[in-house]
Amino acid sequence: MEEHIKIFDTTLRDGEQTPGVNFTFDERLKIAKPLENWGVDVIEAGFPASSLGSFKSVKAIAKALTTTAVCGLARCKKTDIDTVYEATKDATKPQVHVFIATSPIHLEHKLKMTQEEVIASINEHVSYAKELFEVVQFSPEDATRTEIPFLIKCVQTAVDASATIINIPDTVGFSYPTEYGLIFKKLKESIHSDNQIIFSAHCHDDLGMAVSNSLAAIEGGARRIEGTVNGIGERAGNAALQEVALALYVRKDHYCIESKINLKQTKKISDLISRYAGIRVPRNKAIVGQNAFSHESGIHQDSILKHRETYVIMTPQLVGVGTTELPLGKLSGKHAFSEKLKALGYDISTKDQVALFKQFKEVADKKKDVSDRDIHAIIHGTEHEQSAIYQVENLQLQYVSKDVQSAVVVVKDNEGQIYQDSSIGTGSIVAIYNAVDRIFKKHTELIDYRIESVTEGRSTCSAHY
């Protein structure tokens, strides 16, 4: 099989260590299968010894997946390793990930162990894991703050005890690309084994370098990258796998090795994780952000229309995003406006477009983005799309019983007319929208709903429908 960069997805383990994220059992299963379809090689499904919930979901995922390896995390403790064995034994390809911290600061303050004790523990627990698993991965936690000679000693011990995957975690996101890449180079030169050893990178994003560090690891000889979808994870998160996969694809001229990620499903998996984690992807996030394929500047829009590659290094279709957006705004020029008219199916003479373009500019001065509906309105001589036709004037919620809430909703339209009604529902949101349905005598579809804390202890809620 052609060599490829293996992708180890830890969205369900390190990703779930994101403050505020807690996937339910069902969500974990609903995430695991799409991850397999996305093409990751290994899924770290959880830390089974940490809770019964984690154990049960790792077990269910192990049973559900058919091609992807399923891995569980274990401390250097036989009971942890046994629990991973129990949880993953039904997997097509079970794996265990054994770790212990190796940096001086962790040894002194966290483990209170000497270096000799750590070496003995690695030998004992990796050897034990090898009795139960064909594939054993070992991680020296906080590797990037471990002195290189001791790091080499730890890794050689793990390899001698039959670990075949060595993961080098930048646990606190402290390293930088050249330094991190050199650690892999050094390890590859120093570690000896009769087995083929795969070196793996695991980066945190505290300094915003997780993806760059992962790519530098590949240059240093790593052949497996650990990370999460959307880069969720402990503190600032982990390396965003979609960025690693796309960098390898778009810059294959440089890396000369790719992953087996099914790039077309990237946006879909990103949306899924965003929804279940309850974490919005920033608009400007590479590849999966709403703006990732939008070109706002008039100069850019004009150039793209003349020759796409002037400002486009990858198509949105490559990652499963429907179309390239050339959003019309106040910076858009005549060329982009004219193309938009064509795309919307209008055949308007250049002469007539002059007046329409003037009107468009007036609207664009008032609104940040000019939507397709605004364009239709300009052409048909109606008002441009209003940002809000109705506003909530008053809202009262009442707890009726465990499963029944009631809502009184008062809305005002932009001519000052008041409408009101009340309803009940199984929760307060359902009650509110039932009341809204009664006001408008229509079924409203809730498209987006958010509760955001403005300051500690106070919340605002925004909904679009």
Chain contacts with ligand KIV (rule: CB under 6 A):
14, 73, 99, 139, 141, 169, 171, 202, 204
In this structure, are residues 408 and 420 in contact, taking their beta carbons and an 8 Å threshold?
yes
Q: Closest approach of Cβ 322 to ligand KIV, in Å?
A: 35
Eight-class DSSP state of 444: -
Burial-class residue 198 by CB neighbours within 10 Å (0-12, 13-18, 19+).
Answer: middle
Query: Rounded to whole angstroms, how far apart are CA atoms 166 and 397?
Result: 56
Nearest of 56, 62, 144, 58 to residue 104 by alpha carbon: 144
The smaller minimum CB distance to ligand KIV, of residues 29 and 73, is found at 73
Residue 306 makes CB contacts below 8 A (sequence gap 6+) with none
Per DSSP, the three-state class of 209 is coil
Q: Closest approach of Cβ 454 to Zn ion, in Å?
A: 31
The smaller minimum CB distance to ligand KIV, of residues 153 and 202, is found at 202
Burial-class residue 214 by CB neighbours within 10 Å (0-12, 13-18, 19+).
Answer: buried
Q: Closest approach of Cβ 151 to Zn ion, in Å?
A: 17
Task: Give the one entry of Zn ion, ligand KIV, none that residue 294 binds, where binding means its C-beta sits below a cut-off of 5 to 8 angstroms depending on kind.
Answer: none
Q: Closest approach of Cβ 391 to Zn ion, in Å?
A: 45
Q: Closest approach of Cβ 169 to Zn ion, in Å?
A: 6
Task: Give the one entry of Zn ion, ligand KIV, none that residue 59 binds, where binding means its C-beta sits below a cut-off of 5 to 8 angstroms depending on kind.
Answer: none
The smaller minimum CB distance to Zn ion, of residues 239 and 328, is found at 239
Task: Give the one entry of Zn ion, ligand KIV, none that residue 103 binds, where binding means its C-beta sits below a cut-off of 5 to 8 angstroms depending on kind.
Answer: none
Task: Give the one entry of ligand KIV, Zn ion, none that residue 205 binds, where binding means its C-beta sits below a cut-off of 5 to 8 angstroms depending on kind.
Answer: none
Interface with Zn ion includes 142 (CB under 5 A)?
no
Rounded to 5°, the CA angle 328-280-245 comes to 85
Task: Give the one entry of Zn ion, ligand KIV, none that residue 341 binds, where binding means its C-beta sits below a cut-off of 5 to 8 angstroms depending on kind.
Answer: none
Task: Give the one entry of ligand KIV, Zn ion, none that residue 80 binds, where binding means its C-beta sits below a cut-off of 5 to 8 angstroms depending on kind.
Answer: none
Burial-class residue 187 by CB neighbours within 10 Å (0-12, 13-18, 19+).
Answer: buried
Q: Closest approach of Cβ 169 to ligand KIV, in Å?
A: 3
In this structure, are residues 253 and 10 in contact, taking their beta carbons and an 8 Å threshold?
no
Q: Closest approach of Cβ 241 to ligand KIV, in Å?
A: 15
Judged by CB under 5 A, the number of residues near Zn ion is: 1
Interface with Zn ion includes 80 (CB under 5 A)?
no
Task: Give the one entry of Zn ion, ligand KIV, none that residue 300 binds, where binding means its C-beta sits below a cut-off of 5 to 8 angstroms depending on kind.
Answer: none
Nearest of 16, 69, 62, 76 to residue 43 by alpha carbon: 69
13-72 residues in contact with Zn ion (CB under 5 A) are: 14
Region binding Zn ion by CB under 5 A among candidate stretches 9-17, 125-133, 386-394, 398-406: 9-17
Query: Following DSSP, what letter does each residue of 149-176 receive, concatenated?
Result: HHHHHHHHHHHHTT--EEEEEETTS---
In this structure, are residues 297 and 331 in contact, taking their beta carbons and an 8 Å threshold?
yes
Task: Give the one entry of Zn ion, ligand KIV, none that residue 141 binds, where binding means its C-beta sits below a cut-off of 5 to 8 angstroms depending on kind.
Answer: ligand KIV
Q: Closest approach of Cβ 463 to ligand KIV, in Å?
A: 36
In sign, the C-alpha dihedral spanning 181, 187, 190, 191 is negative
The smaller minimum CB distance to ligand KIV, of residues 202 and 384, is found at 202
Interface with Zn ion includes 141 (CB under 5 A)?
no
Residues that bind Zn ion (CB under 5 A): 14
